[in-house]
Every structure is written in structure tokens, then in C-alpha cells.
A and B are shown apart, each in its own frame.
Chain A
Amino acid sequence: MYSILVNPSPTLAKRPSASAASDAMAPLKVPPITPPGGGARTAAVWPDPLALHALWRAHQLSTASHATTASGFAALDAELPGGGWPHRVLTELLLPHPGLGELRLLVPALARIAAGTQPDGGRSVMLFDPPAALCGPALTQLGLDAQQLLVVHGREGVRATAGLRRLLPSADLLWALEQALKSGHVGVALAWLPPRVKADALRRLQLAAQAHDGPAFLFREVDARLKPSAAPLRLLLQSAGVDRLSVRVLKRRGAPLAHPLPIGLPPVLSERLRARARAEPAAGAVQRAEASSIAD
């Protein structure tokens, strides 16, 4: 005859005695209830329900039930539920155009997954229909093992025309992504989806991602932010200067984030050049830069 309350304290817990008469007569001085088999802890015998994940308050970030991979940027990790990119779910990144710096945002997490925790434990990184070719030396510089990289193109992808956009039969791409997520043997998947993907295709990918032990990233166009999506984490990326990215969290498991996060990316330019770029306005004097640096 025990009842366990949400906020138990020794004064409110029921006594183990059964008769009502003795209840009425005896004073309300009950011994604290000790867990069976334990007598070592006498004070604060019940664990904190907040720490048990049994209680969630609306202002908190969700305690992610799946594993996460740290993104490598402390400001971003603090705002992501679970402290990193979540596994077994889709993460959507919305960009105005590819080439903002989104890969440099992901590369620390990708490098960690490709290297793996054990010496032999590197997992594969699969890219689905990237808009341009990846540069090998750049990957090595950023610490990503190029041997773990696999790129999947749709059927007409290889004979594509020049330029950044390619027209591909998207059915093949979605099928390939679903197969890779369902197999569960891929470390991390990055996919560039064609514009205007149907909502049920995204839901299907989200279901398939539950079998995938790692993060899965989808890159989409900015117009998609007005359309609902099944992905539990959606970020809008915009460029905020040289080697800086402004990340706005559109959707996450927890309270919405009102302000955009400025993130400093792994730098391309040296400090001196970056300071100079910040000092000069965008439409600034190119002739001065050319004259000082070009020795022709």
C-alpha cells in the first residue's frame, strides 16, 4: 500500500501501518522511507526527478534520447538538444546558395566520425549528389580522412554540364538515400535534395533515419523554411562576413531560439587579412588590394 508522489518528501509519505484508528491517534512523525536493501543513505533518498528525465519543463531543451556527435563549436553545441548533432534523425540545413561555409561547419563532426573512436573504427561518410566536386587536399587540411568518403550520383550525374546546378532524376536520389539510411552501416549521410521535395518523402526519410546510427544532414533551399518538415532539427544558415556564419535555429526539440547565433568557422584567411577585410567595406577599393599584393 504505497503511493509514490511526484514530489515526495518524508512528511507526506504514507506510513506502512494499515489500521485507520492508529493513523488518527498517532502523531504525524513518520520515518523516512528507505529503498529496499538500502540503509546507507538516510537523507534525500529519492533521486531528483529532473535528473531522471522523468520530468520536462517547457523552457528546457529536450534531453535527447539518442546519441549525439559534438559539432565542434561550443556556442552551437549549447543550443542543440543533447549537445551536438543528433543521431538517428534528420537535420535540415537551409541555405540561400551552396558554398556559404556549411561544410566547414560540419567538418569537425565529420572528421570525428570518419576517424572513429577505435584505431580501426572509422566509419564512412556518404555524400548524395553534391553540387560540386570536393577537393581532396582541402579535406586533408581540415582533418577529414578522404578514404572514408563516398559520393553517390544519380544516373545522369556523371555526364552533367558545367556549373553548380545539375538536373537529376530525384527518385533515384531519394531511393539511394533511403537505402543508405536503412542499412545502418553508414557513418554519416549528407544529401543535397532537389527543390520542392514532397513532405511524405521527407517523412519516409525520417523513418528510415531511425535505423541509421549517426547524423543525417539534408541541404535544402531557403524557401523550404515556410513549409513543414518532418526533421526535428532545422537550421537556417547565412553568411555573416568572412569566415563567419549566422545560424538561426528554426526548429528544435525544446524552446525556440529567438536570436541568430554567430559562429566562427575554421579560418581560410589569415588573421591579418581577415582584419583588413573587416575594416574595408564590401564594395571597397579593389585597386588598393590589387596594387599591394600583386607583384606582376
Chain B
Amino acid sequence: MLWIAVHLPQLSLESLAATLDPAWQGRPLALIDAHRITQADARAAALGVQAGAKRATALALASDLVLGEADAARDAQALQALGHAALAFTPMVCLETTDSSGAPAPVVLLEVQHSLRCFGGLPALLRQLRHALRPLGHRCRIASAPTALGAALLSRWRDDLMHGAHVTDLAALRRLLDDAPVWLLGPGREHWEALQGMGLKQLSDLRHLPRAGLARRFGPALLADLDRARGDAPDPREPIALPPTFEQRIELFTRADNAEQLMAGARVLIARLLAWARARHARVAAFTLRMHHEERRDAVSHSELAIGLAEASADAAHLQALLGERLARTPLVAPALELSLLCDALLQAGLPNGELFATRRNEREGLTRLIERLQARLGADGVQRLTLRADHRPERAMAWQPADTKPAMPDKTQPAGAVSSSHPASLPTRPLWLLNEPQPLPEQAARPCLEGAPLQLLAGPERIESGWWDGALAARDYFIARAHDGALVWIFRGRLPLADVPEGSGWFLQGRFA
């Protein structure tokens, strides 16, 4: 059995920092409880704010200090995200939020004996574990030992206990634990003053005393912990269960009025979502961001933004970009107080192979992602594809539809040049540019004029009379004409009287031979 323990010494501070406005990123941060500082971050500590100081003292030392209260639920959610990230390495992951006496000591425990071979040894596994935990943005202290409680104690004690003989050898662990201070154990911390008064500073001191006396004096919990840490007593643990859907809520420190503040909170939630998705060995196909607004009589309580991905992805940058573009486009109904992210659409499939050179598949996927990004900003109608229809009327011979982000598979039944190569001469000439609406042309001496100069008709007429079945009858004679500068244009003359057809019987410009 080989246990890795990941201790988070500043979990409360970091989970508070995740809810802050991005504009407050550089300010010192401290946790406060009933007007006394309980924990200060590095910046505040550099300015002299210490645990136990009064609120006024702290504010005098650092005038832009941000004070917040620790929230157990928020910390538990952050710890759960870390547990999910660790589930990618082993199914046996346990979370500990407090030590046995109730003081906060957040630790994530992983049992990795059977995963060592898969990940290529302990150092490689530790490296990959650190890499997986980095996006969540917490400072971690990692230690490993043959027993769970032993690993937890070592991780809370020092930062350099990942390698060495004690990792696999129980005797070496016991020797190391002999030098560990007594306050690491929960009951030891409770009775720390009494123990110190008796001269018991290290765990070896405790071992040399009679067990019955210690149990009577300090309670059986102290001995139980000591035995479990040294491996003398069994220590069964329950692994955490992975929820089938993802739902996490984050309460923002200040009201969020604009997209940047929302994105700062959403970034944290997306990192947690991806940790959960990776633990399930799947990729995210769709997710919903729900913004909870203030309670007002006339306003809605929450608004939702659903993002669906054409191609399931586990890339944090891509999801953030999509969400950012949609947020920038959506007007915010009211300031948001809380954000929650929901996801139950996953794609259980292997990751695509990353290839060094660009291949067809890479390119199609890349094009799909590009179209998704463009449509997130410009709207679904922003990117369109062409479909041909069988109709003689030129403006209806084709339709523009929003690109549905399915890559254009080449139509193998009909090669591209089939139509033109089979009957090249029988196809009528069509201009490359077609105007959306035919532009009426003024007439001068019975000749149509474009931009003031008369047009010279060169070819024609081509008569198109079609469309009586859907009410848009088009009876036209098409001509190819030359403008004054030599460009060719496609004009037509309507043949029906003015009353019957909107375009009447004048000259109209339909297209240009670009």
C-alpha cells in the first residue's frame, strides 16, 4: 500500500480568492473570525498582518486589505474539485477536511500502489499529479508513506517528504515519525500545553510511556491515531464517489456587473468542471452557466446561458473563449450574486491523437472549432454555407444556411466538376455576383443606364419564366451588358405589366460578372 497525501495549507484563503473581483487580484487578503485575523496570505504577512491580530490593527498595517470569512461549504467544494482531479490517477481517493479533533486540516489522500506501473513510477506520477492540480490554483504540499494517516501527518509537517526510504518501508516511516512533533496529531494539538509541560515533544516520547496511563490521561483517541499512523492498527477508508452530473455554485464576493467579473468566477468553475470530466474519462459536450441575481420583486431570480459544443472538448482555453464570447454578447438582466455551472452532457470517448503534422482530421476539427468561435461572436447566421437548389429563378437557385459545424465531407458520389464536364455548353452563363434584391435601372432614350452611363447589350435575351406555383412569378428576359468601364453586368427586363408583379416591366440589374 502506498498512500500519497496532498495537503492544502491555504485552502480557505484560496477559495476566498477565487470569488474575488479580478480588479482586486493584487490586494492582500486575510481571513477574519469575530474581529480577529485567523489567516493571512503572503502579501498580508509581508506587511505585518499576523494571525490573532485585531481587525483594526490589521487594517492599520495594510490599508487595502480584503477581509473575508472562512466558509466550510466553499472549502469543501474546492476540496472536492481537487479530489476529482486526483481520481484520474486512482479510484481510491479520500478527502479529509478536519483532523480527528476537529481542527481544519484539508488533505486529499490517494492510494496509488496499483497505479504506479501505469504512470511509470512514483516520481513520474507525482509530476503528473502536480500538473493536474495546477489549473485549480491551490498551493499543495505532497508527501507519501505506506499508511494513510502517516502520509497525512508527513504532508502537514514538511514539504520535502515525497521520496526516500520511508515511502515504501514501514520501518523507515516509523523512524521518521518518531521525530515528528506531537501537535501533528489531533488530540496532541488539543492537549499540547499539557504535553509540553510534561516534556513530551515528539512522538517517540509518547511511545516510551505506558499506554494505559496515556489513554487515561488524554483519551484513547491519541493512542488510536498514533497506532494508525505507525501502521500498528488498520485504517480502513471510504473512497469518494464521483457524482453523475456536475453542479457547483460559487458565491461572488461582490456583485458582478460586467462580463469580466463573471468570467473570473466562471473560470474557476470551468477548471472544476474539467477536473470532474477528466475523472470520468470523458469530454464536455455542453454546459450551462446560471447566474443568480438579487432578490427583487420584478426581476427574474436567475438567468441561464447554455453553451453547446459541436465537438466535445476538454480544453480549458477553448471553453473559456466560447463562454467569454457568449457573455460579451448577452445583456445582463441584473447584477449577479452567485454563479453556478451545470453539466450532464459528456462524451465518453478517447481523446483524439495529437499529431505532429497537420492531417485531414486535425484540419477538419480545427475548422469546426474556428466556426464555433466565429458563431459564438457573430451569431449563428454569421457563418453560412451554400446549398444548391433546382430552380430556374437565379435568386432561388441556391440557399444560404448557417454552417452547422459539421465538416464538409466531400460528396464522393458526385465529383466537383461532374456537372460542368458532362454538359459544358448547355449550361447557361451565370454571373458570380448576384444582388440580393434586383436594383432598378433608370432608362435614358430607351436604354438602361448604370451610374449615369448607358449600357451596351451584348448577349441575350435569355428568357426565364418560372415560379407560378409559389406566388413569386418571374418572367424576365436576361441580357449580358457592358458598362462604361468595360465590366460585364447581368440585367433583365421584366415582361409582365406593372400591376401584376412588384418588379414591373422596367430594367433591373441582377448581377455582375466578377
Name the residue on A nearest B428 (C-beta): A137
Query: Measured between C-beta atoms, what is the minimum distance from B104 to chain A in Å?
Result: 46
* CB pair B386 A134 closer than 8 Å: yes
Name the residue on A nearest B511 (C-beta): A135
Question: Which one, B385, B454, B459, B485, contacts A239 given CB within 8 A?
Answer: B485
Q: Does A280 contact B (CB under 8 A)?
A: yes
Q: A150 and B512 in contact (CB under 8 A), knowing A99-B487, A136-B397?
A: no
Describe A's contact surface by its main secondary structure. Answer: loop
Interface size class of A (residues with CB under 8 A): 35 or more
Stretch at the interface among A14-22, A70-78, A172-180: A172-180
Query: Measured between C-beta atoms, what is the minimum distance from A138 to chain B in Å?
Result: 4
A45: B residues at CB distance < 8 A: none
Question: Which one, A102, A185, A286, contacts B367 given CB within 8 A?
Answer: A185
Q: A293 and B486 in contact (CB under 8 A), knowing A132-B434, A286-B447?
A: no
* CB pair B381 A120 closer than 8 Å: no
Stretch at the interface among B262-270, B409-417, B468-476: B409-417
Q: A123 and B386 in contact (CB under 8 A), knowing A99-B433, A135-B431, A136-B397?
A: no
Stretch at the interface among A1-9, A51-59, A154-162: A154-162
Query: Measured between C-beta atoms, what is the minimum distance from B374 to chain A in Å?
Result: 5
How far is A243 from B381 in the complex, measured between Cα atoms in Å? 34
Question: Which one, B400, B408, B459, contacts A151 given CB within 8 A?
Answer: B400
A158: B residues at CB distance < 8 A: 381-382
Stretch at the interface among B29-37, B42-50, B205-213, B358-366: B358-366
How far is A160 from B400 in the complex, measured between Cα atoms in Å? 15
Q: Does A268 contact B (CB under 8 A)?
A: yes
B489: A residues at CB distance < 8 A: 99
* CB pair A152 B374 closer than 8 Å: yes
Query: Measured between C-beta atoms, what is the minimum distance from B456 to chain A in Å?
Result: 6
Q: Does A283 contact B (CB under 8 A)?
A: yes
* CB pair A185 B370 closer than 8 Å: yes
Stretch at the interface among B85-93, B170-178, B435-443, B497-505: B435-443
* CB pair A135 B366 closer than 8 Å: no
Stretch at the interface among A24-32, A139-147, A196-204, A223-231: A139-147
* CB pair A139 B432 closer than 8 Å: yes
Q: Does B384 contact A (CB under 8 A)?
A: yes
Q: Does A255 contact B (CB under 8 A)?
A: no
Query: Measured between C-beta atoms, what is the minimum distance from B324 to chain A in Å?
Result: 13
* CB pair B436 A152 closer than 8 Å: no
Name the residue on B nearest A107 (C-beta): B432
Name the residue on B nearest A176 (C-beta): B374
Q: Does B72 contact A (CB under 8 A)?
A: no
Within 8 A of A (CB), among B364-384: 366-367, 369-371, 373-374, 377-379, 381-384
Within 8 A of B (CB), among A20-54: none
A282: B residues at CB distance < 8 A: 456, 482, 484, 486
Name the residue on A nearest B388 (C-beta): A136
Instruction: Kindly name the residue among A99, A132, A293 whose own CB sees the greatest number of chain B CB atoms within 10 A.
Output: A99
Query: Measured between C-beta atoms, what is the minimum distance from B103 to chain A in Å?
Result: 51
A273: B residues at CB distance < 8 A: 458-459
* CB pair A99 B513 closer than 8 Å: yes
* CB pair B416 A143 closer than 8 Å: yes
Name the residue on B nearest A124 (C-beta): B367
Q: Does A294 contact B (CB under 8 A)?
A: yes
How far is A243 from B427 in the complex, measured between Cα atoms in Å? 19
Q: Does A103 contact B (CB under 8 A)?
A: yes
* CB pair A137 B427 closer than 8 Å: yes
* CB pair A242 B398 closer than 8 Å: no
Question: Which one, B360, B386, B387, B454, contacts A121 given CB within 8 A?
Answer: B360
B514: A residues at CB distance < 8 A: 98-104
Q: Does B63 contact A (CB under 8 A)?
A: no
Interface 1/0 per residue, A157-197 and B, CB below 8 Å: 11010111000000010011001100111100000000000
Question: Which one, A130, A140, A152, contacts B419 given CB within 8 A?
Answer: A140
Query: Measured between C-beta atoms, what is the minimum distance from A3 to chain B in Å?
Result: 40
A294: B residues at CB distance < 8 A: 460-461, 477
A258: B residues at CB distance < 8 A: none
Name the residue on B nearest A293 (C-beta): B460
How far is A184 from B457 in the complex, measured between Cα atoms in Å? 45
Query: Measured between C-beta atoms, what is the minimum distance from A109 to chain B in Å?
Result: 15
Query: Measured between C-beta atoms, what is the minimum distance from A245 to chain B in Å?
Result: 9
Q: Does A115 contact B (CB under 8 A)?
A: yes
How far is A158 from B378 in the complex, measured between Cα atoms in Å? 11
Q: Does B394 contact A (CB under 8 A)?
A: yes
Q: Does A12 contact B (CB under 8 A)?
A: no
How far is A2 from B136 in the complex, measured between Cα atoms in Å? 59
A179: B residues at CB distance < 8 A: 370, 373-374
Q: Does A69 contact B (CB under 8 A)?
A: no
* CB pair B363 A123 closer than 8 Å: yes
A137: B residues at CB distance < 8 A: 388, 397-398, 427, 430
Instruction: Kindly name the residue among A103, A123, A185, A289 whose own CB sees the greatest number of chain B CB atoms within 10 A.
Output: A185
Question: Which one, A98, A120, A136, contacts B410 given CB within 8 A?
Answer: A120
B353: A residues at CB distance < 8 A: none
Query: Measured between C-beta atoms, what is the minimum distance from A157 to chain B in Å?
Result: 7
Query: Measured between C-beta atoms, what is the minimum distance from A153 to chain B in Å?
Result: 6
Question: Which one, B379, B411, B433, B459, contacts A147 given CB within 8 A?
Answer: B411
Name the residue on B nearest A158 (C-beta): B381
A102: B residues at CB distance < 8 A: 514
B330: A residues at CB distance < 8 A: none
How far is A176 from B370 in the complex, measured between Cα atoms in Å? 9
* CB pair B378 A104 closer than 8 Å: no
Q: Does A149 contact B (CB under 8 A)?
A: yes
* CB pair A122 B410 closer than 8 Å: yes
How far is A282 from B459 in the complex, measured between Cα atoms in Å? 14
Question: Which one, B367, B371, B394, B457, contacts A290 given CB within 8 A?
Answer: B457
Q: Does B480 contact A (CB under 8 A)?
A: yes
B427: A residues at CB distance < 8 A: 137, 141
Q: Does A269 contact B (CB under 8 A)?
A: yes
Q: Does A96 contact B (CB under 8 A)?
A: yes
* CB pair B458 A135 closer than 8 Å: no
* CB pair B433 A133 closer than 8 Å: yes
Question: Which one, B378, B383, B387, contacts A155 given CB within 8 A?
Answer: B378
Report 16 cross-chain contacts, Cβ distance below 8 Å, ordered by A residue: A99-B514, A102-B514, A132-B434, A134-B434, A140-B419, A146-B386, A150-B371, A150-B385, A152-B383, A154-B378, A162-B437, A164-B435, A180-B370, A183-B367, A268-B513, A286-B456
Instruction: Give 7 nearest A-B pairs by CB, closest first.
Output: A99-B512, A185-B366, A162-B437, A239-B486, A136-B398, A138-B430, A145-B416
Give B contacts to A, CB under 8 Å: 358, 360, 362-363, 366-367, 369-371, 373-374, 377-379, 381-388, 394, 397-398, 400, 403, 408, 410-411, 416-417, 419-420, 427, 429-437, 439, 447, 454, 456-461, 477, 480, 482, 484-489, 511-514
Give A contacts to B, CB under 8 Å: 96-104, 107, 114-115, 118-124, 130-155, 157-158, 160, 162-164, 172, 175-176, 179-180, 183-186, 213, 238-244, 268-270, 273, 276-277, 280, 282-284, 286, 289-290, 293-294
